[in-house]
Structure 1
Amino acid sequence: MTRIFNGGMDRRGFMAGTAGVALAASMPRAAKAAPKRGGHLRVAIGHGQTTDTLNPGTYSNSFMTSVSFPIHGRLTEVTADGALIPEVAESWEASADASVWRFKVRSGVTFHSGKTVTATDVANSINFHRGENSTSAAGPLVAPITDIATEGDDMVIFTLDGGNADFPFILSDYHLTICKADGDSIDWRSGDGCGSYVLKNFNPGVSCTMERNPNHWRDDVAWFDSAEIIAIVDQNARTTALVSGDVDVADRLDLKTVGLLARNPNIQINSVAGTQHYTFAMDTRSDPFSNNHARLALKYAVDRQQLVDKILFGYGSVGNDHPIGQGQRFYNSELEQRAYDPDKAKWHLQQAGLDKLEVRLSAADAAFVGAVDAAVLYQAAADNAGISVTPVREPNDGYWSDVWMKKPFAAVYWSGRSVEDQMFSTAYQCGAAWNDSFWCSERFDELMVKARSELDEARRREMYHEMQAIVANDGGVVIPMFANYVFGNSTKVAHSDQLGSNWDVDGMRFIERWWMA
């Protein structure tokens, strides 16, 4: 075996991550004092629906992600600066071809019920997402695993169907929680985790409360005595709660008024560039989206810069119809940037055998803030190309269960992923549970398998570049913009200047990492 990791893995040495630095828009403040324990954190999250469950395979929004990270542990963790560190795993090593990975389970880690975390718990937790009958959103991530074995109580051996240099990063995914073994499966219903906070109350789509775990193995996290997460999908209500002091943190701020909000001396505004992107997903199984010329017509009919200016108010950048961010290791900077071009859109309509195109575009703030306005702007721009886009305002509650992947053309937000393979296998692999355009490409899937096992970086880059080009030119998703994470916190709350960009609000680790000022 070849030792890969035992301590801190620098992202520059192994994997260029997507960390971002918070841009504080508030008034300058004195240097932060060292973290201290105490206080109750109140958080308003702009997601959450009554169909949410504690089943880790079903997590699909920021409400559940913010609940999951504090109460559950994972084998690995992506830090605020994009490095990979051990969490429930103490160390790991890989075979020379990166197809067999041995993870040593950290000693002294216990579930909130008091049971010691063992290799069996880890194996069952990952196996929970595997298998032909799995409906887990993490199914594609663990599909390359052909076998999971244990040695004693503290060693888990993963055998893959090929080499995968990114495998430890994949195990940091928020779905891959370590839960207590229950027969051949896991006990997820009780919420009995091994994280730094203990779940006290869970009201799906409404609220969640938790208290610090006094028996947690780490002493550098979990500074608050307790925390409460409140689902407030309405943006005005969420912002008002932050301004009034009813909550200490609010995500997904109104970018139209964030400049005004920044003048409030009691609020800090944070803007972090990362992999978050907003999309319009087309169901490629149905007409007209089954025709790639029709899809390309829709891609040329959207004014990307206008959306960045009027929806993101400059807090982001134009997208190029693929999900890989500019800061990622294998971003294809050589791919021609697609621009708004009504004439090209008309040409593609002609190639599709159409003289006009009429589509309905479902949107709601639950998809992303400003999604309905974005659909209206799309409508105006597409009209110049002979395309009629009719915006359909959908209800916020139930959007992810009743609209996303149900309606043929819908607005979607994606947080992105730490590594390219993770993003592609989650949302673009043929048959993946979250492939929201139901798109399939034999060449793309072939490259995806080859790229993850290719250890020569130059050849790997070529493969990922081609994959981005395939998605941009043939895929079923319009990706017009990448959006910064913009969130606010009361100055009563403190955090590091370095904020994670792999997910929203400090990588969704804010409850563990932040403290009362």
Structure 2
Amino acid sequence: MPHSRNQSLREARTGNHHSGSCPNRRQVLVGASALAAVTGAGALLCASPSHAQTPKRGGRLRIGVSGTSTTDSLDPRAITGAMVGVMIGQLRNGLIEVNADGELVGELAESWEATTEGADVWRLKIRQGVEFHSGKTLGLDDILYSLNLHLAEESGSPLKTVLSGISNLERDGDDGLTITLSTGNADFPSLLSDPRLQIMQDGDTDYEKGNGTGGYVLQDWEPGLRAFATRHPNYWKADHANFDEVETIAIEDATARVTALQTGSIDVMNSVDRATAHLLTAQGDLELVVQNGYKHYTLPMRADTPPFDNNDVREAVKYAINRQEILDKVLYGFGYLGNDHPIPASLPVFATPEELPQREYDPDKAKFHLKQAGLEDLTVQLSTSEAAFDGAVDAAQLIQESAAPAGITVDIRRKSSDGYWSDVWRNDPWVMSYWSGRPTADWIFSEGYHSAASYNDAFWKNERFDKLLMEGRTELDPVKRRDIYVEMQRIVSREGGQCIPVFAADVLAKSTKLAHGPVAVNWDMDGYKLADRWWFA
């Protein structure tokens, strides 16, 4: 049930949120006995944080991570992939972050409030006494510079569309920033929690040096290979950045990551192979952390390119995919079915099955839509790579098999992981991809589905959708707002260029020597803040 209008607006306006006493039900720690219950069933379990205790300092954390490329960059306008994500969680801070309960918490913005009833003017109080790695003290010039990196006319940033509602930035005393929006937006503080919205030092354009206010100072960085950082001696967060050193190692091959963890070469890894996850816990000194968040696997079809410029073809493809098979055989139950829109079931605006029936595998309906498009059969190329998501190649083969009875021949084109995001994604007509998701409907729709969005990887345009997006952003009545977002989900599901077969849990594996509190699920690896929040027991 949506919050009341006053409650929702009050929480968004003031930046005052209170954590509950229970761990977030969307994140669980799974041991050997619990794994049997979750594997293949997608069940959610609740467990205590791993070795929860007072954080200790010391040691070198070694992170094995997939989602890397030699084209990786620390330019905040060009952040892609898990390796860079977990690095910026070490090196830089944002204005606002998301905690394990999904609540907004002040980072470099100490507090925030809407100063108008229409939520179109916001004041941020900027934290004082924060130091960059360079030794410079954080000031309003740095905040303004960092925001304008994304807002500039030729920025090329994917956040440009998300932040497009900002019409004016103005200093308010020595520690305040007033942000005026062209239209009200009760969700505006959530937009400032994007980890790509890092605060840079004013005028700094040498992005690859990693200068920031984060808990670690970059010492060495080889894109697509390795990064090494040491603790920032003047870090402003107490009980954070507890490791002396952090080594982030690119290991794209899932088997190689597991071997590195089992032999003690790394302490934690992302993207565990769900098929063999139970074997890791059998070792006794390893355990899993399962994050059921916003991540979803996508199959964007370029709606500006034949044959996908015909919605009947797109509908045929959606009906020709057996998504239950992907959930069972690729995710092994670690997730749930998608319905061709990006809103997770955990959000109150999620369209229920009564409002938007779950799309089922139906070759006959696929054939019907092919006929509506004037086709008896169809041959299409699907570009894939393990860079898209773990199990993407296997998922492509399942799609190939399930599409055949519908008269659709899927020609799988396996691409190199290196350069997949720069050369294949947003270039080939039909590809495999994933989204980490976003904590609000306005955010994910603005960044990936609006006609002018730079991450609109289906190149899909719909005037009604764009109009509803603006209406939903300014509507403060939660019931009316939810109705708007439900209609938008229907439009995307039935007319959009995205096929979204499943939502996937992030599964990490780690040494039992690593300790942590409740884990955030907004992004992989504890919201990319693993090195900032965890410690050795």
Taking structure 1 as the reference length, the TM-score comes to 0.95
Counterparts in 2 of 1:365-376, with a 5 A limit?
365-376=386-397
AA matched with 1:322: H
AA matched with 1:51: T
Report the Cα distance in structure 1 between the residues aligned to 2:229 and 2:272, rounded to whole angstroms. Answer: 24
| In the alignment, structure 1 residue 102 sits paired with structure 2 residue 123 | yes
The match for 2:87 is 67
AA matched with 1:318: L
**Shift of the alpha carbon at 1:153?**
3.4
AA matched with 1:255: R
The match for 1:428 is 449
**Shift of the alpha carbon at 1:24?**
1.4
Give 2:108's match in structure 1, choosing from 77, 88, 95: 88
- The alignment-based identity, stated in percent, is 44
| In the alignment, structure 1 residue 384 sits paired with structure 2 residue 392 | no
Give 1:179's match in structure 2, choosing from 192, 200, 210: 200
The match for 1:251 is 270
Counterparts in 2 of 1:463-478, with a 5 A limit?
463-478=484-499
**Shift of the alpha carbon at 1:47?**
1.3
Return 36-45 or 191-200, whichever deviates more.
191-200
The match for 1:24 is 30
The match for 2:252 is 233
Report the Cα distance in structure 1 between the residues aligned to 2:286 and 2:11, rounded to whole angstroms. Answer: 46
**Shift of the alpha carbon at 1:33?**
3.4
**Shift of the alpha carbon at 1:5?**
5.7
Secondary structure at the aligned position of 2:180 is classed as: strand
Aligned partners of 2:400 and 2:410 also within 8 Å: yes
| In the alignment, structure 1 residue 318 sits paired with structure 2 residue 337 | yes
Counterparts in 2 of 1:401-420, with a 5 A limit?
401-420=422-441
Secondary structure at the aligned position of 1:321 is classed as: coil
- Higher relative helix content: 2
Report the Cα distance in structure 1 between the residues aligned to 2:239 and 2:280, rounded to whole angstroms. Answer: 32
AA matched with 1:349: L
Report the Cα distance in structure 1 between the residues aligned to 2:220 and 2:403, rounded to whole angstroms. Answer: 47
The match for 2:171 is 150
Taking structure 2 as the reference length, the TM-score comes to 0.92
**Shift of the alpha carbon at 1:8?**
4.1
Give 2:377's match in structure 1, choosing from 356, 360, 372: 356
**Shift of the alpha carbon at 1:327?**
0.5
**Shift of the alpha carbon at 1:131?**
3.2
The match for 2:45 is none
Report the Cα distance in structure 2 between the residues aligned to 1:11 and 1:291, rounded to whole angstroms. Answer: 47
Secondary structure at the aligned position of 1:278 is classed as: strand
Report the Cα distance in structure 1 between the residues aligned to 2:181 and 2:205, rounded to whole angstroms. Answer: 22
Aligned partners of 2:32 and 2:278 also within 8 Å: no
Instruction: Write the deviation string for residues 466-506 of structure 1: whole angstroms up to 9, x where unpaired.
Output: 1111100010011000111111001111112x211111121
Alpha-carbon RMSD across the aligned residues, in angstroms, is 1.9
Secondary structure at the aligned position of 2:437 is classed as: coil
- Higher relative strand content: 1
Secondary structure at the aligned position of 2:444 is classed as: helix
**Shift of the alpha carbon at 1:287?**
0.5
The match for 2:220 is 201
Instruction: Write the deviation string for residues 288-328 of structure 1: whole angstroms up to 9, x where unpaired.
Output: 10000000000000001010000001111110000111011
AA matched with 2:89: F
| In the alignment, structure 1 residue 459 sits paired with structure 2 residue 465 | no
The match for 1:307 is 326
**Shift of the alpha carbon at 1:187?**
5.4
The match for 2:230 is 211
Return 501-510 or 303-312, whichever deviates more.
501-510
Q: Where in structure 2 are there 5+ consecutive unaligned residues?
A: 1-8, 35-47
Give 2:299's match in structure 1, choosing from 232, 255, 280: 280
Question: For residues 109 and 187 of structure 1, do their structure 2 counterparts lie closer, same or farther at Cα, with a shift above 3 Å needed?
Answer: farther
Report the Cα distance in structure 2 between the residues aligned to 1:452 and 1:107, rounded to whole angstroms. Answer: 32
Secondary structure at the aligned position of 1:410 is classed as: coil
AA matched with 1:78: V
Aligned partners of 2:12 and 2:186 also within 8 Å: no
AA matched with 2:508: F
The match for 1:132 is 153
**Shift of the alpha carbon at 1:220?**
2.6
Secondary structure at the aligned position of 1:22 is classed as: strand
Aligned partners of 2:89 and 2:530 also within 8 Å: no
The match for 1:44 is 64
Instruction: Write the deviation string for residues 152-192 of structure 1: whole angstroms up to 9, x where unpaired.
Output: 4322111111111111111010111000111xx75534321
Report the Cα distance in structure 2 between the residues aligned to 1:7 and 1:445, rounded to whole angstroms. Answer: 28
Instruction: Write the deviation string for residues 244-282 of structure 1: whole angstroms up to 9, x where unpaired.
Output: 110000100111111112211010111121111001111
Secondary structure at the aligned position of 2:279 is classed as: helix
**Shift of the alpha carbon at 1:108?**
0.6
Secondary structure at the aligned position of 2:63 is classed as: strand
| In the alignment, structure 1 residue 509 sits paired with structure 2 residue 521 | no
Question: For residues 359 and 230 of structure 1, do their structure 2 counterparts lie closer, same or farther at Cα, with a shift above 3 Å needed?
Answer: same
Report the Cα distance in structure 2 between the residues aligned to 1:391 and 1:19, rounded to whole angstroms. Answer: 38
Question: For residues 19 and 108 of structure 1, do their structure 2 counterparts lie closer, same or farther at Cα, with a shift above 3 Å needed?
Answer: farther
Aligned partners of 2:131 and 2:235 also within 8 Å: yes
Q: Where in structure 1 are there 5+ consecutive unaligned residues?
A: 13-17
